[in-house]
Amino acid sequence: MKKPSSKLREEIARLQEQLKHAEAREAERIGRIALRAGLGEIEIEETDLQEAFEQLAKRFRGSKTVPSGTKGAGESSTGGGQSETLTRGAASGNAGEA
């Protein structure tokens, strides 16, 4: 039996709310990890940081493709260098605090 459109809208609204809460939890978790790694102290453009995160996700996903919202994120030659810079920067930021 088909559901009426009002029931479908209610279900969609409920699922959107669940998605919003799940994304907030994930963002908080990743944010805490990033801060512990010293990323909060590094001056870096958001697009560069997003690209580095996409490369990291690609590394842990294996051969699966990563959808990209930034230009050049699919280029492996530029992404790897930025990840290395990010890693070196995070290490030096932590050393300065100690």
Dist CA 46 CA 52 (whole Å): 10
Per-residue confidence at 1, pLDDT binned at 50, 70, 90? confident
pLDDT at 53: 92
> What's the pLDDT tens digit per position in 3-20?
899 999 999 999 999 999
> What's the pLDDT tens digit per position in 27-66?
999 999 999 999 999 999 999 999 999 999 999 998 655 4
Q: How many CB atoms lie within 10 A of CB 74?
A: 15
Q: Which residues contact 44 (CB under 8 A, 6 or more apart)?
A: 86, 89
Q: Domain map of the chain by residue range?
A: 1-36, 44-98
pLDDT at 76: 41
Dist CA 20 CA 62 (whole Å): 27
pLDDT at 95 over 80: no
Dist CA 68 CA 16 (whole Å): 22
pLDDT at 2: 87
pTM score of the predicted model: 0.54
Number of H helices, E strands in the chain: 3, 0
